[in-house]
Amino acid sequence: MIILAIIAAAVLAFANGANDNAKGVATLVGSGTMSQRSALRYAAVATILGSFAAVLLAGELVRKFSGKGLVDQSLLDASGFLGCVGLAAMMTVLLATRIGIPISTTHALVGGLVGVGLSAHGLHGGAMVSAFAIPLLAAPILALVVAAITYGCFRWTRLRLGATKQTCVCIEEEYHPVNITSDGAMMLTATGLKISDEHDVARCVQRYDGRVVGVSAQRTLDWSHLFTAGAISFARGLNDTPKIAAIMITAGMVSSGMSNVWIGLAMAAGGLLAARRVAHTMSDKITEMNDGQAFTANLVTAGLVIVASRFGVPVSTTHVSCGSLFGIGLMNRKIHGGMVGQIVLAWITTLPLAAAIGWIAWRLLAA
């Protein structure tokens, strides 16, 4: 049973990386700042660093996700309890990753705890609500509101500093400002030359013109965007690693430090090998965004998740990240409602699905 728990935790970590790795760098891909392959590599490195930092900064999350206070102590001591919880979360996250929908590993773990606790008649419902339900429900709403307000403030500041937006196309790896005519054609601003498909126009983007404190506005934004994307991936490693590591640690075979190392490596492997479906959803299907909007979403996500991890608040990186993107999409009026509906539906079904799997797993084990 101990081996089952460790294997379940390792596979869950791989599935977590496959489903979550793109969430930190989705805006880099969606805004055209970085290719998907390079962005996923960048995310993997930052996630490993966050996993290592979790040894010192996120011990409270290990305690909460070990089940202490949430289920009877006799159930915690029972052989197979943690294995069933890990199995429920693992199967739920793998299924969502296969269909390319970003869901919360946190919700899947909580669902597993609920399902096994109910099956064994040892669940403490009040503690579960106060410790998990409130922060998990509030986090995406808070992220949406903060992202919308922050974007409005940043836009006002940009206009006051005189940094304006230009519509540009990439021709032979150089960006050229263009004007869009009434019939949808593009004209080069410098020469008035009409752009057609035969000129190998790779991408039409919005870029920022002007200088901030003597530095190019676009260059400043690019570096800031890269930093916040790395910060989200770091925060994800910091936030998710101790939740999964709790299964290994409580099983009693792996120390806290080593469990974080192994979980971090498994998460990075999942992100490198199996994250492309979810990356496509996060980057292209939620909302269209330019560099400034992408930077704002990243800044809000990284800030909220790092603060929550430091104080042991069990928020979902997925929900915070998507909530920030929802807020940006509402502000720029380019949100894709159909995809948002699919993601929210997946969020609603994650916990009961994981709970059902956990309930069945415990019943089979007991039999």
Chain segment 10-55, per-residue pLDDT in tens: 898 898 888 888 777 877 887 677 888 888 899 889 988 988 887 7
Cα 286–chain centre separation = 13
**Looking at the structure, do residues 27 and 118 belong to the same domain, yes or no?**
yes
The reply to whether 198 falls in a domain is: yes
Task: Give the closest residue to 97 by CA, choosing from 270, 287, 344.
Answer: 270
Do residue 25 and residue 78 come from a single domain?
Answer: yes
Same domain for 123 and 11: yes
Indicate the pLDDT class of residue 352, thresholds 50, 70 and 90: very high
* Contact status, residue 265 vs residue 254, Cβ threshold 8 Å: no
Does one domain contain both 190 and 249? no
Which residue range(s) make up the domain with 183?
A: 164-209
Distances (CA, A) of 154 to 23, 103, 149: 22, 29, 9
Average pLDDT of the segment spanning 308-313: 80
pLDDT band at 149 (very low <50, low <70, confident <90, very high): very high
In a domain? residue 68: yes
Residue 115 has pLDDT above 50, yes or no: yes
Domain assignment present for 57: yes
Residue 184 counted as domain residue: yes
pLDDT in tens, 61-106: 777 777 777 788 777 777 778 888 889 999 999 998 888 888 888 8
Are 341 and 252 contained in the same domain?
A: yes
Q: How many domains does the chain have?
A: 2
Same domain as 233, residue 199:
no
Domain ends where: 147, 179, 209?
209
CB atoms within 10 A of CB 160: 8
Could you tell me if 42 and 116 lie in one domain? yes
- 273 part of a folded domain: yes
Beta bridge partners of 169: 176, 204
Question: Token digits for 64?
Answer: 């909460």
pLDDT of residue 201: 44
- Separation in Å, CA 62 to CA 172, 185, 220: 50, 56, 38
**Residue tagged 């929802």 (tokens):** 326
Residue range 252-284, pLDDT digits in tens: 656 667 777 888 888 888 888 887 888 777 777
- Do 130 and 175 reside in the same domain of the chain? no
Q: What are 174-223's pLDDT values in tens digits?
A: 666 666 666 556 666 666 666 655 444 445 566 666 666 667 777 778 88
How far is the C-alpha of 348 from the C-alpha of 334, rounded, in Å?
24
Decide if 308 is inside a domain: no
Q: For the whole prediction, is pTM greater than 0.85?
A: no
Cα 272 to the center of its chain, rounded Å: 15
Residue 84 belongs to a domain: yes
The token pair at 228 is 């916040």
Longest dimension (CA), the chain: 78
Q: Give the lowest-confidence range in 111-125, 142-156, 269-283.
A: 269-283
Q: 169 with 94, same domain?
A: no
3-state DSSP helix/strand/coil percent for the chain, to nearest 5? 70, 10, 20
pLDDT tens for each residue of 320-346: 888 888 888 888 878 888 888 888 888
Q: Please give the C-alpha separations between residue 45 and each of 19, 64, 304, in angstroms, as whole numbers.
A: 16, 26, 21
In a domain, 331, yes or no: no
Is the domain of 247 the same as that of 177?
A: no
Beta carbons of 30 and 289 less than 8 angstroms apart:
yes
Q: What single string gives the DSSP state of each residue in 25-58?
A: HHHHHHTTSS-HHHHHHHHHHHHHHHHHHHHHH-
Residues 233 and 284 grouped into a single domain: yes
Q: Are residues 119 and 23 in the same domain?
A: yes
> Which structure tokens are listed for 233?
């991936």
